[in-house]
């Protein structure tokens, strides 16, 4: 398997620490709100990587964190540690405890993952009855369940001389690490420009780029709802230490792959790497692998603050979750995607065209075609070359191989694609189409022709054509 290594800035051959095994940590969501579509792109990308590794015969030990404390509202920009805790803030908005906020939104993560056919970090289908109470059994790790491990790791970092303490916090001193900015190549002075505003918050802070390992329950955080005792006083962990502590506790001091979005590179993953070196004297992650942004039509990164929609809102447009998955699966993780309704419609049309071609092969499933299985593996091993994968499918559909063998081979590919290609389209949309037809008939009776036309167009987008006659509506597959 070859993947793009962010530190080496090139595609490299992945050489596992243990032969035939891959240990992988994926940065998961902060569970203070429902995930938006930009978050979801990353989780689909890493689901494909996970499936590909298993398909290629690796034993995969993967975990994904659920951040339920300590992620500040300004962390995503320049790493400022003195913003509002996202969990605390949302708890005040909704009038419930932060832990209840976490539990509520963990369940929405599970719901979105199920809809999009994303496997659990353990590599299993997510059971319909799985809730926040049992997520650790399926490879998720909740930050609040690892506070003692975080404190122990911070103590090691402190003993190794990388920290200093102020009245408000315990900091990691980034000047102690010569290659702190190895990801970006920035000089420390360049990085400090973006974070300088925080010096006025804690005047004892030495370098603007230093980051919090443990925040004390003093000053603006004297009333912070979630806090624990520690050697530095009651308080709560910094965001970055959570991932370092959980990943190394579960996967060990050395593990193979750490995934995340490119927005994690300059701050969060830079600080994670620093902490690992501070604690163990060496980096823990062998390969850092990042997916590119999902962009708005204005070519800006899609984010919650700029109106990015959660999955249920997008599905209200009449889309199937597999349309969204198709869009993200069909484009390489290293490529920016401009997200729009037109892009979704294009993905839907491509997916429906593919499923119809597959349906035309019949229902008899034969044997996989060995030469195409090998070609498929080569495309996966080539930095997840998804354009090559879909090219192979198209080639297969045009080939002279027995239809039942073509069908078996494409179904085998779908173990990685996760597009539910064995699910016949009629099984998935009949009831939905009937409901839209009923709504359209009511609109026509009420002479609401604008709504009637909208519903007609919606049905067309779903692959059906309506004909209006003297006996009412009739429908045919396009």
Residue in 22, 113, 24, 98 with CA at minimum distance from that of residue 67: 98
What pLDDT score was predicted for residue 186? 76
Question: How many C-beta neighbours within 10 Å does residue 341 have?
Answer: 11
| Residue 390: its H or E element | helix 386-398
Place of tokens 């998935």: 428
- The answer to whether residues 274 and 157 touch, using CB atoms and an 8 Å cutoff, is no
Alpha-carbon separation of residue 360 from 346, 354, 364, 403, 414 (angstroms): 21, 10, 11, 9, 17
Question: How many C-beta neighbours within 10 Å does residue 38 have?
Answer: 22
Strand partners, 342: none
What pLDDT score was predicted for residue 318? 82
Place of tokens 């078996």: 408
What pLDDT score was predicted for residue 80? 67
pLDDT along the chain (478 residues), means of 10: 97 98 97 94 98 98 94 60 85 93 96 97 96 97 97 98 97 96 80 50 89 94 93 96 98 98 95 98 98 86 79 90 97 95 93 93 96 98 98 97 97 98 64 81 86 88 78 72
- Domains present along the chain, CATH in parentheses: 16-165+238-294 (3.40.50.620), 341-417 (1.20.120), 426-477 (no CATH)
What pLDDT score was predicted for residue 470? 66
What pLDDT score was predicted for residue 301? 84
| Residue 290: its H or E element | strand 285-291
Question: How many C-beta neighbours within 10 Å does residue 92 have?
Answer: 12
């Amino acid at each position: 398997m070859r993947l793009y290594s962010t530190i080496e800035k090139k595609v490299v051959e992945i050489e596992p620490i243990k032969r035939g095994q891959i240990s992988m940590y994926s940065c998961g969501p902060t569970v203070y709100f429902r995930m938006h579509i930009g978050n979801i792109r990353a989780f689909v990308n890493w689901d494909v990587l996970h499936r590909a590794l298993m398909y290629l015969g690796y034993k995969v030990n993967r975990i994904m964190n659920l951040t339920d404390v300590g992620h500040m509202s300004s962390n995503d920009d320049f790493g400022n540690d003195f913003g509002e805790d996202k969990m605390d803030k949302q708890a005040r908005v909704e009038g419930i405890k932060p832990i209840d906020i976490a539990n509520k939104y963990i369940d929405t993560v599970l719901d979105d993952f199920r809809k999009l056919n994303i496997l659990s970090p353990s590599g299993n289908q997510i059971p319909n009855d799985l809730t926040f109470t049992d997520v650790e059994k399926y490879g998720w790790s909740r930050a609040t369940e690892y506070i003692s491990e975080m404190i122990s790791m911070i103590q090691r970092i402190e003993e190794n001389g990388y920290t200093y303490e102020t009245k408000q916090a315990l900091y990691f001193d980034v000047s102690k690490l010569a290659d702190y900015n190895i990801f970006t190549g920035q000089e420390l002075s360049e990085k400090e420009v973006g974070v300088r505003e925080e010096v006025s918050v804690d005047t004892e802070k030495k370098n603007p780029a230093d980051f919090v390992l443990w925040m004390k329950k003093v000053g603006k955080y004297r009333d912070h709802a979630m806090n624990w005792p520690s050697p530095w006083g009651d308080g709560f962990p910094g965001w970055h230490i959570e991932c370092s502590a959980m990943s190394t506790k579960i996967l060990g001091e050395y593990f193979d792959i750490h995934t995340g979005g490119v927005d994690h590179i300059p701050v969060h993953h830079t600080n994670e790497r620093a902490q690992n070196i501070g604690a163990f004297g060496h980096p823990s992650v062998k390969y850092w692998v990042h997916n590119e942004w999902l962009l708005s039509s204005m070519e800006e990164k899609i984010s919650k603050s700029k109106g990015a929609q959660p999955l249920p809102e997008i599905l209200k447009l009449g889309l199937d979750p597999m349309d969204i998955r198709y869009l993200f699966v069909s484009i390489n993780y290293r490529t920016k995607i401009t997200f729009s309704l037109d892009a979704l419609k294009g993905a839907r049309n491509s997916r429906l065209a593919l499923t119809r071609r597959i349906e035309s092969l019949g229902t008899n499933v034969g044997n996989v075609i060995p030469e195409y299985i090998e070609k498929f593996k080569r495309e996966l091993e080539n930095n997840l070359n998804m354009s090559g994968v879909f090219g192979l499918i198209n080639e297969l559909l045009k080939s002279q191989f027995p239809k039942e063998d073509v069908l078996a081979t494409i179904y085998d590919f779908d173990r990685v694609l996760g597009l539910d290609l064995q699910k016949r389209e009629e099984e998935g949309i009949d009831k939905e189409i009937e409901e839209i037809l009923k709504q359209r008939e009511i609109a026509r009776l009420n002479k609401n022709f604008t709504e009637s036309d909208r519903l007609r167009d919606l049905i067309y987008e779903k692959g059906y054509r309506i004909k209006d006659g003297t006996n009412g509506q009739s429908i045919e597959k396009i």
